[in-house]
Amino acid sequence: MRAMSADQTRTYRREECIVFLKTDEPFGGLSNMAGGFPLCVNGLEIRTSEALYQACRFPHLPEVQKLIIVQKSPMTAKMKSKPHRKHSRPDWDRVRVKIMRWCLRVKLAQNWATFSTLLQETGDRPIVEESRKDAFWGAKPVDADTLVGMNVLGRLLMELRAAIEGEGREALLKVDSLDIPGFRLAGHPIETVIAENPAMAPTEPLDQSPRPGEASSPREYQPSLFDSPKGPDTMVRDSAAEQHARAGIASLKPYPALKDSGVPWLGEVPEHWEVRKLRHVLRRRTERNRPDLPLLSVVREKGVIRRDTTSADENHNYIPDDLTNYKVVRPGQFAMNKMKAWQGSYGVSRYDGIVSPAYFVFDLWGVDGNFFHAAIRSRAYVPQFTRASDGVRIGQWDLAESRMREIPFLVPPLPEQAAIVRFLDHADRRIRRYVRAKQKLIKLLEEQKQAIIHRAVTRGLDPNVRLKPSGVEWVGEVPAHWEVLRLKSLISRLDQGVSPQAENRVAEAGSWGVLKAGCVNRGVFREKEHKRLPEGFIFDEKLAISEGDVLVSRASGSPHLVGSVGRVAELTSNLILSDKIFRPVFVPNARPEYMVLAMNSRYYRLQVEQAISGAEGLANNLPSSSLRRFVFAVPPVKEQLDIAESLRSAIDDVSATVERSEREIELLNEFRTRLFADAVTGKLDVREAAAKLPDLEENPGMAEPLDELAAGEAAEFDDELDVEAEEAGA
């Protein structure tokens, strides 16, 4: 076995990890030796990923490959390979990790329902393969509690788990062939693998409806806008916003003359388009020594943006005193964070500035900058940068420039590039308008709901009631017969739960789950926001959730969600409190139906904001001592019930409209993504539509995404500290 460098060796504490040794253990299915995960590559059925991995040793010996893959057990497949290992491909040690990564992706794609669930059940704990002999793929036990080794298989599994969260199911159901010499099986080049075998398909089939006028095909490498909706559960049909967005492209058709691109993931392309490698489009630039230029960042959501150096933490990114080695980026140049290219952290710049010396900067040749920006950032191309990146360190894969330069890129004639940009810019503007309109509607509805609640919990239902000063500035006047009390006088106890290691999936019937912090949001309880507890987990029965409980979010990644309150109206799952959720248990003169309204009022929100910004509160954390001191206006019990009943219908209507609007925004996002991908890969002919468009203001270059539209509102800056610390001076 080759020597292991110290920085690649890991030490694991057994109690903190998901450890598997035998295939009959709870997580034994993660092993390459586990059965029950059949594969199909190049039309050949293969029983296990271990057999596929071993067969890849011998691309030049197809008879040996066939001998391996026909074996009934993974162990016999491995043993059949041993006599021939001296004839393994000469670069085996260099490519074996890539091949194992590919095998695992095939295992996931063709066994999505079982294998993705198993991976997600590991939560965020380290995954470790325990091995008595092999410290490369696994880790060896050095005592009862400690394992040491490179654990490459475990790290690849964690990488795949992260991809499930980051890339999503649809992107992972297709696995491209590896870009390595002689990647063959049974005498033929290994083709793109797609989960199309019904026996291996995911629980929800991929939508691959044919386009109008085309025959159905068993393989559709590039999904199209003409595809049918995925089903009633995944799409709100006939929303007004989506109808408007579709109106401008409803008559678009495929190009009349197509050719085979020779690239499986591109499929057929317009006959007059060129397929070039990126090496013929990009020219490397290394201009430096301009510390006077502004700093730029390259982020996933927006591409190249101006860097905010005034922020107190700027995502904790390090800025050295000497910037002379930073690379210069000019408008129209393509800049890329090579450690985050697999996420899409790249784009064509609209600014003069400087970026990390570890980044790539290129001139563009023969392509329009706006077209290149729209195309290369589409979901058609981003996965290709993932495949050109290496590394087992989660989230920091290094892009190999040599392989990146070999990525195919579709190049229409320049006038057609301009037409595509013109059309996409027009569509983008329209979709932005609809999204902004929906966002404004949501904001107005939330304000309306809060105003209705605030008036009811500070004035009651009688407009002629006599008022008195509450003595609290943010509450104001209240009915004279009401009391103003602190929460500690209105509760018998304030429960708080536990947060054990749990499986990242919902609990099935008969099992138990623990609530996530996001289980309450905007006054609504979301039952599915929980994780499944492991079998046999012992907990205090008092932590069980019941219908009628009021829940308060103690902590959240967003300060706007800290203190969110919701009431459990209906419950179909067995759930317990987590340590991020409070449950106030109210005394008889404080009805939960009323108190959940009061805790969604303006005056309650002001108290939350004051508590989490004060000296006692930690960032995005509501201390229980602060919550107990919160002040509420409290009417008699009968009036509490009357207020709750009076507001129920109005609040439910507003909440339903907000939920519907949020779903429409989600659909518009997906619609825009598909439109861009189809237009830049020649699946839609937009030339005629672009020619009919009215004159628009100057094209902004589409350097920014929709407003959302990415989660939260702040762009997620790249972790430049890691890159610069490792590669400064590159």
pLDDT in tens, 90-136: 889 889 999 999 999 999 999 998 999 999 999 989 999 999 888 88
Q: pLDDT tens digit string along 559-579?
A: 788 999 999 988 888 999 999
Q: pLDDT tens digit string along 351-405?
A: 999 998 888 999 999 899 999 999 999 988 888 887 888 765 545 677 888 888 9
- Which residue ranges make up each domain of the chain? 6-194, 461-634
Distance separating alpha carbons of residues 539 and 358, to the nearest angstrom: 50
pLDDT mean over 505-520: 86
Q: How far apart are the first and last CA of the chain?
A: 32
Residue 680: pLDDT band by 50, 70, 90 thresholds?
very high
Name the DSSP letter for residue 344: T
Residue 158: pLDDT band by 50, 70, 90 thresholds?
very high
DSSP 607-648: HHHHHHHSSSSPTTB--HHHHHH-EEEE--HHHHHHHHHHHH
Residue 82 tokens read as: 């041993």
Residue 201: pLDDT band by 50, 70, 90 thresholds?
very low
User: Which residues have C-beta within 8 Å of that of residue 26, sequence separation ≥ 6?
Assistant: none
Fold exhibited by the domain 461-634: Adenine-n6-DNA-methyltransferase TaqI; Chain A, domain 2 (3.90.220)
Distance separating alpha carbons of residues 223 and 216, to the nearest angstrom: 13
Cα dihedral 447, 442, 519, 114 in deg (nearest 10): 180
Query: What local confidence, expressed as pLDDT, does residue 313 receive?
Result: 40
- Adjacency order of strands within the sheet including 346-348: 282-284, 360-364, 334-336, 346-348
Q: Is the whole model's pTM more than 0.85, yes or no? A: no
User: Which residues have C-beta within 8 Å of that of residue 108, sequence separation ≥ 6?
Assistant: 115, 116, 119, 160, 164, 172
Helices 637-680 & 369-376, crossing angle to 10 degrees? 120
Q: In terms of DSSP bridges, do strands 127-129 and 18-20 run parallel, antiparallel, or are they unpaired?
A: parallel
Question: Are the CB atoms for 54 and 40 separated by under 8 Å?
Answer: no
Closest CA to 249 of 712, 684, 728: 684
Q: pLDDT tens digit string along 597-610?
A: 999 998 999 999 88
Question: Are the CB atoms for 84 and 64 separated by under 8 Å?
Answer: yes
Question: Are the CB atoms for 420 and 680 separated by under 8 Å?
Answer: yes
Residue with token string 């106890």: 493
Query: What local confidence, expressed as pLDDT, does residue 517 receive?
Result: 85
* 555 pLDDT above the threshold of 80: yes
User: Which residues have C-beta within 8 Å of that of residue 243, sequence separation ≥ 6?
Assistant: none
Distant-in-sequence contacts of 616-624, Cβ < 8 A, 24+ apart? 619/559, 620/555, 620/556, 620/557, 620/558, 620/559, 620/562, 621/554, 621/555, 621/562, 622/552, 622/553, 622/554, 622/555, 622/562, 622/563, 622/582, 624/494, 624/496, 624/554, 624/582
Q: What percent of the chain has a predicted confidence (pLDDT) above 70?
A: 83
User: Which residues have C-beta within 8 Å of that of residue 79, sequence separation ≥ 6?
Assistant: none
Residue 671 tokens read as: 């619609």
Amino acid sitting at position 630: F
Query: What local confidence, expressed as pLDDT, does residue 711 receive?
Result: 31
Distance separating alpha carbons of residues 210 and 217, to the nearest angstrom: 7
| CATH number belonging to domain 6-194 | 1.10.357.40
Query: What local confidence, expressed as pLDDT, does residue 552 receive?
Result: 94
User: Which residues have C-beta within 8 Å of that of residue 494, sequence separation ≥ 6?
Assistant: 582, 583, 584, 585, 624, 627, 628
Query: What local confidence, expressed as pLDDT, does residue 507 receive?
Result: 85
Residue 528: pLDDT band by 50, 70, 90 thresholds?
confident
Could you give the count of Cα atoms lying within 13 Å of 466 in the half-sphere of its Cβ?
Answer: 2
Closest CA to 278 of 130, 411, 458: 411
User: Which residues have C-beta within 8 Å of that of residue 648, sequence separation ≥ 6?
Assistant: none
Distance separating alpha carbons of residues 660 and 241, to the nearest angstrom: 11
pLDDT mean over 133-149: 89
User: Which residues have C-beta within 8 Å of that of residue 451, sequence separation ≥ 6?
Assistant: none
Q: What SS3 string covers 659-723?
A: HHHHHHHHHHHHHHHHHHHHHHCCCCECHHHHHCCCCCCCCCCCCCCCCCCCCCCCCCCCCHHHH
Please indicate whether residue 53 or residue 653 has the higher confidence score (pLDDT). Answer: 53
**CA angle centred on 721, ends 715 and 723, rounded to 5°:** 100
Of 329-338, 566-575, 704-713, which gets the smallest average pLDDT?
704-713
Residue 598: burial class (beta carbons within 10 Å; 0-12, 13-18, 19+) = buried
Strands, E assignment, 419-489: 467-469, 477-479, 483-486
**Cβ atoms within 10 Å of 105's Cβ, excluding its own:** 22
* 460 pLDDT above the threshold of 60: yes
pLDDT mean over 196-207: 36
Distance separating alpha carbons of residues 98 and 116, to the nearest angstrom: 20
pLDDT mean over 429-448: 89
Q: pLDDT tens digit string along 15-50?
A: 999 999 988 888 999 998 888 889 989 878 898 899
Question: Are the CB atoms for 293 and 333 separated by under 8 Å?
Answer: no
Q: pLDDT tens digit string along 634-646?
A: 999 999 999 999 9
Distance separating alpha carbons of residues 567 and 575, to the nearest angstrom: 14
Residue 718: pLDDT band by 50, 70, 90 thresholds?
very low
* 77 pLDDT above the threshold of 60: yes
φ, ψ for residue 13, nearest 5 deg: -95, 125
Instruction: Indicate the average pLDDT of the chain.
Output: 81
Question: Are the CB atoms for 379 and 364 separated by under 8 Å?
Answer: no
Closest CA to 707 of 443, 420, 330, 381: 443
pLDDT mean over 321-337: 89
Question: Are the CB atoms for 555 and 517 separated by under 8 Å?
Answer: yes
Tell me how long the chain is.
730
Residue 309: pLDDT band by 50, 70, 90 thresholds?
low
Query: What local confidence, expressed as pLDDT, does residue 222 receive?
Result: 28
Q: What percent of the chain has a predicted confidence (pLDDT) above 90?
A: 40
Distance separating alpha carbons of residues 374 and 706, to the nearest angstrom: 13
Query: What local confidence, expressed as pLDDT, does residue 423 receive?
Result: 94
Distance separating alpha carbons of residues 34 and 57, to the nearest angstrom: 20
Question: Are the CB atoms for 207 and 223 separated by under 8 Å?
Answer: yes
Residue 501: burial class (beta carbons within 10 Å; 0-12, 13-18, 19+) = middle
Q: In terms of DSSP bridges, do strands 44-46 and 346-348 run parallel, antiparallel, or are they unpaired?
A: unpaired
Please indicate whether residue 209 or residue 519 has the higher confidence score (pLDDT). Answer: 519
DSSP tally for the chain: helices H, then strands E? 18, 38
Residue with token string 């409290």: 634
Residue 22: burial class (beta carbons within 10 Å; 0-12, 13-18, 19+) = exposed
Name the DSSP letter for residue 177: P
Query: What local confidence, expressed as pLDDT, does residue 235 receive?
Result: 33
Distance separating alpha carbons of residues 383 and 170, to the nearest angstrom: 12
Encode 518-539: b = buried (16+ Cβ within 10 Å), e = exposed: bbbbbbbbebebbbbbeeeeee
Residue 502: pLDDT band by 50, 70, 90 thresholds?
confident
Integer angstrom CA distances of residue 631 from 449, 468, 599, 626, 701: 21, 16, 10, 10, 51
Query: What local confidence, expressed as pLDDT, does residue 392 receive?
Result: 55
**Bridge partner residues of 304 (DSSP):** 298
Query: What local confidence, expressed as pLDDT, does residue 699 receive?
Result: 46
Most confident of 281-285, 612-616, 711-715: 281-285
Residue 214: pLDDT band by 50, 70, 90 thresholds?
very low
